[in-house]
Amino acid sequence: MENTINIKLKVWRQAGPKAKGRFETFELKNISTDSSFLEMLDILNEQLINKGEEPVAFDHDCREGICGMCSLYINGRPHGPDDDVTTCQLHMRKFKDGQTITIEPWRSAGFPVIKDLIVDRGAFDKIIAAGGYVSVNTGGVPDANALPIPKPNADEAMDAASCIGCGACVAACKNGSAMLFVSAKVSQLALLPQGKVEGARRAKNMVAKMDELGFGNCTNTGACEVECPKGISLANIARLNREFLSAKAQD
Amino acid sequence: MSSTLGSSIGKKLLMSLSGLFLIMFLVVHLTVNSFLLIPDGGEFFNAGAHFMATTPAIRLIEPLLAIGFLVHILWGVKLTIENRRARGNARYASGKKTTGVTWASQNMLVLGITVGAFLVLHIAQFWVKMKLTGDPLLDHTTISIGGVETEVENAYALVNTTFSYLWIVVVYVIGAIGLAIHLSHGFWSAFQTIGFSNEIWRKRLTVLGNIFAWLMGLGFSLIAVLQYFFYQG
């Protein structure tokens, strides 16, 4: 049997990067508890469009929790009240009938608002471009067993690689720090032989870019790890610190 | 080198290393303080204070300690200001409902200011009197160190008299508890910053840090309280 709820939304509206924003309130009736949070917003926007009003702008893409496009700060938490899921995989059954839901964009100086709930996360792309890759000369694909990799390293690298770059870590951080993101992107390569070659340069360049773009200094509060939809561990930040400091010591 | 210490991780490295240095100082300080509990009229404590004041190696470390404090305070303020800027001016209307984040980790500056305020009083009450102005209570007394009769400052009398005032004991307990909460995050965080942490060590360091923090906090508090109640007259 399908359950439905009536909810009240308090949504951040902002016409543009320089415009002054404000909250706007909407009421939605008969929302299926089986619908996702973004489907609920689709319903809202459909109603707004039918009334000839401006729909609420929000980021979304794959809607299966792997692209890192959706964001939203919902009722005091990035990606809402559920743990280890992105907003697109958050379901309306996590909310109560008659509840007021406050929806805000990520708030951090490194992520300026573009419109309504959409922020500019281009800074993350710039950090990746500064070193978050391996340089590979073209050629045949090597055999998977040609380069033995210890299972724990492979597992940890895969865990780090599950970072989707959504920015929830920065949104949750009281320091506006991007360390969890950068540490995941450094760790996923630092743990593997292919990534070790450029390891020192990568750590230095990515940290330098992160600092240049105005992200804050990590104070190890751990809020990022709690709110990360992929459960990226703080151990990665310790690894980034090691990688960076030993790279600098080698200079 | 400048680009290392100027980077975000470099600045945190300075906080970490100065913090660890101050932690070592705390251990020495509490050890000497524990002599206050030996009921020998302060003889052993005076010997300890005499050793700390006259040993050349320790006198050399003293300015280093001052630098350690200064670096920790100045960079702490600098990092906080930078982090507020990085955070931006906009605040979340729906608040912060992230669970599992310790209060200490989010209030290190406030706790640091608490300890710092205590430190000003503490230095005025002891260090200034012992090193600069002198005090009638410090009049020399003769104790036996290893069978040798030695004339030393009566540091015990100054400490004992200071701890006869209730308000001072209360302020010291507040300072020590502030220190304990500060250390409950600072200890493991210092190791995390130098890269000495992983999934397993994080748990170990957090437990170790909490034990250490409260050993320090309660140790300093208890000595002051016991002095007030049981060592007067």
Are B94 and A216 a contacting pair at CB < 8 A? no
CB-nearest partner of A110 from B86, B94, B102: B86
Any CB–CB contact under 8 A between B220 and chain A?
no
Q: Which of A177, A246, A251 is nearest to A210 (CA)?
A: A177
Partner-chain contact A227 B98, CB within 8 Å = yes
Contact with chain A for residue B188, Cβ under 8 A = yes
How high is the ipTM of this complex? Answer: 0.93
If 0-12 CB within 10 Å is exposed, 13-18 middle and 19+ buried, where does residue B26 land? middle
Contact indicator for A211, B10 with CB cutoff of 8 Å: no
CA distance B215 to chain A (A): 22
The answer, yes or no, to whether residue B208 has pLDDT greater than 70, is yes
Least CA distance to A214: which residue of chain B?
B86
User: Is CATH 3.40.190.10 the classification given to domain B15-82+105-230?
Assistant: no
Sequence-distant (6+) residues with CB within 8 A of B44 are B35, B38
Band (pLDDT 50/70/90 cuts) for residue B107 is: very high
**What type of residue is A175?**
N
**Overall average pLDDT of the B97-111 stretch:** 96
Check pLDDT > 60 for residue A226.
yes
Interval A36-49: pLDDT, tens? 999 999 999 999 99
Report domain A122-250's class. mainly alpha
Query: Could you tell me what percent of chain B has a pLDDT over 70?
Result: 99
DSSP label at A87? G
Q: Residue A53 carries which DSSP code?
A: P
pLDDT tens digits for range B167-192: 999 999 999 999 999 999 999 999 99
| Domain-wise residue ranges, chain B | 15-82+105-230
d(CA B152, CA B42) in angstroms, rounded, equals: 12
Distance, in Å, from the CA atom of A247 to the CA atom of A241, rounded to the nearest integer, reads: 10
* Interval A120-145 mean pLDDT: 92
Q: In chain B, whose CA is at the least distance from the CA of A108?
A: B87
Residue B31 has pLDDT above 60, yes or no: yes
CATH number attached to the domain at A4-104: 3.10.20.30
Give tens-digit pLDDT for A54-102.
999 999 999 999 999 999 999 999 999 999 999 999 999 999 999 999 9
Closest in B8, B92, B101 to A211, CB measured: B8
Which chain B residue has the Cα nearest residue A211? B8
Mean pLDDT across chain A, nearest whole number?
Answer: 96
Inter-chain residue contact B13 with A245, CB threshold 8 Å = yes
| Residue of B3, B4, B9, B202 for testing the chain A interface, max A β-carbons within 10 Å | B9
DSSP β-ladder status, A118-119 and A113-115: antiparallel
In chain A, what are the domain boundaries? Answer: 4-104, 122-250
Test A218 with B12 for CB contact under 8 angstroms: yes
Query: For residue A107, what pLDDT is reported?
Result: 97
A109 to B82: CB separation less than 8 angstroms, yes or no: no
Q: Count residue pairs from A and B with Cβ separation < 8 A.
A: 145
Provide CB contacts within 8 A for B187, sequence distance 6+: B23, B205, B208, B209, B210, B212, B213
| Beta strands per DSSP E along A105-232 | 113-115, 118-119
Alpha-carbon distance A47 to nearest alpha carbon in chain B (angstroms):
25
How many residues comprise chain A?
251
What would you measure as the largest C-alpha separation in chain A, in angstroms? 66
On whether the CB atoms of residues A232 and A160 are closer than 8 A, the answer is: yes
Residue B146: pLDDT band with limits 50, 70, 90: confident
Contact between A240 and B9 using a beta-carbon 8 Å cutoff: yes
A155: enclosing H helix or E strand: helix A151-161
Contact A76 B13 (CB under 8 A): no
- If pLDDT is split at 50, 70 and 90, which confidence band does A143 have? confident
Q: Which of residues 132-171 of B touch A (CB under 8 A)?
A: none
Measured CA distances, A19 to A92, A112, A176 (Å): 31, 12, 22
- pLDDT of B2 reads 59
Nearest-CB residue to B79 (from A217, A227, A243) = A217
Residue B14 pLDDT level (bands cut at 50, 70, 90): very high
Burial A50-80 (b: 16+ CB within 10 A, else e): eeeeeebbbbbeebebebbbbbbbbbbbbbb
**Residues of A numbered 1-40 whose beta carbons fall under 8 angstroms of chain B's beta carbons: which are they?**
10, 23
Residue of A nearest to B192 (CA): A238
